[in-house]
Structure 1
């Protein structure tokens, strides 16, 4: 069975998160999406994938899927136990004769009521199968136990609902569980009928006996076409007056009961499960985002701008997430040296080896954005970022280091020595090393320029 594309699911979850909590800090994600190119829908998906990896939403999706699978297992066990209970309730312990109509009511009553409800929901556009669906979603949320994925369930419902797939997904779940329960009931019916001796009878007080007999005979007409036994009129009349004790009579009634159960219980659920499965498979390939949603419309100019603009970013959030820096996954070449907020009194740049490019000193936001856009299009093989360890490693600088590192195949941070006559603060230098360790960025040593030129120390 096909799975829902994770990229679309995450994009919808990110949209809901931004609707509930406001826009996310997404400058780097938008830049990566623009660099990937393509039409707007693809860029929205690429942006959402970047944000999901950064904020751990992709891991929450894995936990959600695991919770969904475990919830389905629990519902399946419940269906098997319920099916066994139906069989025991229908036949009893064999001491008393089996009332045929009571047995059919026990086996098929709830099944037919829920089936009628599903068909009415399908015809009138309701949420067919919503009770089992809500139960499954509730179990999934409890079993996933990941607060980051709180919006994954609503995002899934919205994504499938707009495509008209929710009814088929819930229908497949509902019919599949009912089919499992009915199969368990059938197997237990066969086991009980094979190991115990049952007598069968039909009874009525208010209704005319001929009408009741006609009903029983009519119920067995369709199963008889499939080879199940059909009681003759003599057996019908005799069973309405007392339990017929002959072996042939017991086998005929047992076969009739099984036939009615299979034809009016198992077959409808199996056929409807196949219908839902076919509709699900057919519609899943056409699943798309609704770009008319306000959350997607506002991204049009930023992801597919009419003109490229530099130096624009959203307001910083209250708490900046700092994932590991990582590195570029695309082909890269060349070596680049860049400095971040250096003192004007420090001579810069140093003498550079052949083949190493100087990207200057990044002081302003526009310079940073311009360089990041360039590196996203042309990632270097080696990137050396020079920092002044006399400054504190503030979160803005650390975020910039992480963004720069993700544009290069290899990155090192060069903590420059103090100018002559000055000494570095040991505590502040320790803060730098601790911050770089959290970002998983290596600090360059005295051979930084040699590594930049050759790729080794």
Structure 2
């Protein structure tokens, strides 16, 4: 079974709950038995059950595909953010001479508007970055290329909304992408200023020179604390008439522009991304199943029953699922022969090799439950299942064969010969062959004693 993180286990449990809520109960007899055998409290058993069902129905593989798509979508959005930041830098220095406040508006205007929108949404609505989040989820689903991945996103959103973790996950995404955009703009700004000579001016029709002096000094106050230069009052006044052809003036304006970009654009996004990421990790560690939800409450009696019950109570599945051994976590050894519902006319057991054990005939609920519990604790290396092909391969028999096969490292199905004077029905025997092939089990018409004893056919 695929190794999953705690968040992914919770995610799959929520996906299975939603699936059963809208499509009806799943065929989960074996999943419930394995969850009970594994032990633990109810949340642990629910997650164990969900993991087994997800593995069987392909949801675990779909989850891995979705995560791959999500990572690829994040890479594409990061590339888009870097290109957008580069575009902002080109737009800021696209004039000759450079209007400092026009350049500053090009670099920070959209960023500050969206930052304010994000903060207001966080305080008043609790949902922010929805458009970018929906784009990321849509890209993740498209890039996953797995139809079953569509069931995963709604379950994840519902699970996170209960603990209000959406805001922090999307906040880390939004602020992280804007940080990359601002970092790209800063790097390209420095490259352009290092390779070209720019003059800086400010222009106005309505405002006075003193207004620009106060605004420039106010914007440069915090950057000056970090070591960035601020143009002097004389430089600011002189730059209103034209670009100063003085090296110190160009450097002062360039340093001021870079400092404002760092302090007002880069650092806030970095700090907010780190805070959101910290809150996301803290909330993620505290995530738990909500056992009051109807889907989980109904599982309590099945996974932690006051009395054990056996039987078939689920609707017939649309198709049989291929059998894969589930004993990888436990050591398997020895060989075992078991029979299913043989009549009294057939002598049993046959003479067995020395190292092959006989598990008897499974002809009651009690005997089936006993052998399944035994095999879940002590799985055999080789298991032979004897069946009478005169009986039809009904759903109950095939489900039992599948459960037994999953509890052994290797399995063979022995289709017994008819008693003397009788003949097997060819159509019914063909049904057995087709059903066992669909389950992915090997079968034989003669006793597999050599294989049981030595492991070789």
Runs (4+) off by over 6 Å = none
What residue is the counterpart of 2:279 in the other structure? 279
SS at match of 1:30: helix
Question: Deviation digits for residues 265-315 of structure 1, max 9, x if unmatched?
Answer: 01111111221222223333222222121111110111011222233x432
Which deviates the most, 371-380 or 64-73?
371-380
In the TM superposition, what is the alpha-carbon distance from 1:389 to its structure 2 partner? 2.4
Question: Deviation digits for residues 326-362 of structure 1, max 9, x if unmatched?
Answer: 2533244555433224355434443455662343243
**Alignment partner of 1:359 is 2:360:** yes
What residue is the counterpart of 2:85 in the other structure? 83
Gaps of 5+ in 1: none
Count residues in correspondence: 452
Which deviates the most, 342-351 or 102-111?
342-351
Q: Tell me: CA distance 1:56–1:436, structure 2 relative to 1, closer, same or farther (3 Å).
A: same
Among 55, 58, 67, the alignment partner of 1:56 is: 58
- Contact 2:342/2:361, CA 8 A, preserved across alignment: no
Q: Tell me: CA distance 1:270–1:146, structure 2 relative to 1, closer, same or farther (3 Å).
A: same
Question: Deviation digits for residues 204-262 of structure 1, max 9, x if unmatched?
Answer: 22233312321122111111111111011111111123222222212211111111111
Measure the CA separation in 2 of the matches of 1:410 and 1:154.
39
**Alignment partner of 1:315 is 2:314:** yes
Measure the CA separation in 2 of the matches of 1:422 and 1:247.
109
**C-alpha root-mean-square deviation of aligned residues, in Å?**
2.4
Measure the CA separation in 2 of the matches of 1:380 and 1:72.
46
Q: Tell me: CA distance 1:116–1:26, structure 2 relative to 1, closer, same or farther (3 Å).
A: same
Which deviates the most, 148-157 or 72-81?
148-157
- Contact 1:60/1:148, CA 8 A, preserved across alignment: yes
Among 30, 33, 37, the alignment partner of 2:32 is: 30
What residue is the counterpart of 2:267 in the other structure? 267
Measure the CA separation in 2 of the matches of 1:433 and 1:321.
13
TM-score, normalized by length of structure 2? 0.91
What residue is the counterpart of 1:202 in the other structure? 202
Question: Deviation digits for residues 59-86 of structure 1, max 9, x if unmatched?
Answer: 0011001100110111011111101110
- Contact 2:349/2:360, CA 8 A, preserved across alignment: no
Q: Tell me: CA distance 1:314–1:101, structure 2 relative to 1, closer, same or farther (3 Å).
A: farther
Alignment of 1:376-387 (within 5 A): 376-387=376-387
What residue is the counterpart of 1:346 in the other structure? 346
In the TM superposition, what is the alpha-carbon distance from 1:28 to its structure 2 partner? 0.4
What residue is the counterpart of 1:100 in the other structure? 100
